[in-house]
A = this chain, B = another copy of it.
Amino acid sequence: MSKIVPVGVSARHIHLTQEDIETLFGQGYKLTEFKPLSQPGQFAANETVVVKGTKGQFDKVRILGPARPASQLEISRTDAFAIGVKAPVRESGRIDGTPGITIQGPAGEVQLEQGVIVAARHIHFHTSDAEQWGIKDQQLLKVRLGGERGLTFDNVIARVSESFALDMHIDTDEANAAGAKTGDTAEIVE
């Protein structure tokens, strides 16, 4: 039985705490939804921020909502070189010891102490998908993308939850190296 998963390409984006949202956009400010994402309850917000590294900045970084317990900027390695921040490859939420960054919004600025990562490629599995395919949470998978720039990624992290929808998340460097786009499919080969 082929294990086929849809691919979603993550452009640079930021998650913010409610406190940081209020510093950046004003007291009591709530994010507004631009469009829903593949994971239930998650959305791209209308709001964007400026992020400033030592060598450059990005002017319109999309905020993903809802608010989270810790602010986190997810960029590609290409982005990291471009703005001059040494972001390590990390699973979302594992930000101990990662570098910080300056975030600017219309109402103020936040000096993030840590939270800049290059997101480790991963697949979200609903518990039922994972059970059907015999895949465990945190298992490292090999996943093939086909086509002209076909390749097989090692170390794709399985993340299993009742609240997840089946979706493989790669960043823009990975998508561009594979010639892939959101809506393509990939095959778990090992």
Q: Which residues of A contact B (CB under 8 A)?
A: 76-78, 81, 89, 121, 148-155, 172-174, 176-179
Q: A149-B155, A150-B155, A151-B151 are in contact. Are A173 and B89 (CB under 8 A)?
A: no
**Contact present for A77 and B176 (CB under 8 Å):** yes
Bound-complex Cα distance A126 to B179 (A) = 29
Could you list some 12 contacts between A and B, CB below 8 A? A76-B78, A77-B176, A77-B179, A78-B172, A121-B149, A148-B155, A149-B154, A149-B155, A151-B154, A151-B177, A152-B154, A177-B177
Query: Which residue on chain B has the smallest CB distance to residue A171?
Result: B177
Count of identical protomers in the assembly: 2
CA distance A155 to B146 in the complex (A): 10
In the bound complex, CA of A165 to CA of B91 (Å):
39
Contact of A178 among B78, B148, B177 (CB under 8 A): B177
Decide if A148 touches B179 in the complex (CB within 8 Å). no
The answer to whether B176 touches A78, judged by C-beta atoms less than 8 angstroms apart, is yes
Q: How far is the CB of A172 from chain B (nearest CB, A)?
A: 6
User: How far apart sit A153 and B76, CA to CA, in the bound complex (Å)?
Assistant: 19
Contact partner of A148 (CB less than 8 A), chosen from B89, B151, B173, is B89
Contacts of A78 in B (CB 8 A): 76, 78, 172-173, 176
**Chain B residues with CB below 8 A from A150, complex form:** 154-155
Contacts of A176 in B (CB 8 A): 76-78, 81, 173, 177
